[in-house]
């Protein structure tokens, strides 16, 4: 037996009492890694072009450093720039063999898409500086999504051919 109804459909409100959109879980589809990485790269480069900064290119070693840290933040259940082993962003970039200088690292704990996260990073001076720093030429970008939908995003920027030194490194986060 089939039962159907033509009654009104009840939808959940999309705007909260503060007038802002209610959060919704963004599920990253399987097999979309390259699409998300290049979407972020294209968006970052559009912002950099508007600011007069040179374009970035994806760097596999920086991607690896970002991926390691995104997963580690999930394990620690906190967004911060130090690894569970005490590593700093500089340590992680050196461990993957990046032959350059770490320019900066942005991190985020959120349920939002990569572009919503980028927009939030652009709203804060410290995270915006990591994205727009003119000396950067390389970018690593990765994430880890938990089964509950929470996403841990990490972006790392670097300047090739310069040794990594602690001076001048910008680390910034937006914790949503």
Residue 75 belongs to domain with CATH number: 3.40.33.10
Whether residue 16 lies inside any domain: the answer is no
Residue 6 predicted with pLDDT over 60: no
Alpha carbons within 13 angstroms on the beta-carbon side of residue 3 total 1
Number of domains in the chain: 1
Q: What is the percent of the chain where pLDDT is above 70?
A: 80
In a domain, 10, yes or no: no
Residue 1 lies in a domain: no
Average pLDDT of the chain, as a whole number: 84
Report helix, strand and coil shares of the chain as percent, to nearest 5. Answer: 35, 20, 45
Question: 128: domain range?
Answer: 32-159
Model confidence pLDDT, tens digit, residues 105-117: 999 998 888 999 9
91 in a structural domain: yes
Does an H or E element contain 89, and which?
helix 89-95
Q: What number is the average pLDDT over the span 153-159?
A: 97
pLDDT at 22: 64
Is residue 20 situated within a structural domain?
no
């Amino acid at each position: 037996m089939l039962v159907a109804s033509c009654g009104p459909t009840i939808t959940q409100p999309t705007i909260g009492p503060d007038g802002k959109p209610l959060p919704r879980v963004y599920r990253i589809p399987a097999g979309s890694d390259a699409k998300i990485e290049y979407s972020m790269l294209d968006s970052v480069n559009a912002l950099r072009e508007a600011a007069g900064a040179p374009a970035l290119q994806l760097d596999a070693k920086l991607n690896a450093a970002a991926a390691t840290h995104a997963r580690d933040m999930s394990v620690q259940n906190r967004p911060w720039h130090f690894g569970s082993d005490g590593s700093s962003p500089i340590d992680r970039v050196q461990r993957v063999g990046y032959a350059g200088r770490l320019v900066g690292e942005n991190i985020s704990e959120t349920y939002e898409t990569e572009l919503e996260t980028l927009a939030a990073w652009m709203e804060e001076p410290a995270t915006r500086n990591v994205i727009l720093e003119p000396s950067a030429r390389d970018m690593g970008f990765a994430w880890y999504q938990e089964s509950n939908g929470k996403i841990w995003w990490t972006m790392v920027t670097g300047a090739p051919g310069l040794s990594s030194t602690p001076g001048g490194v910008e680390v910034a986060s937006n914790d949503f």
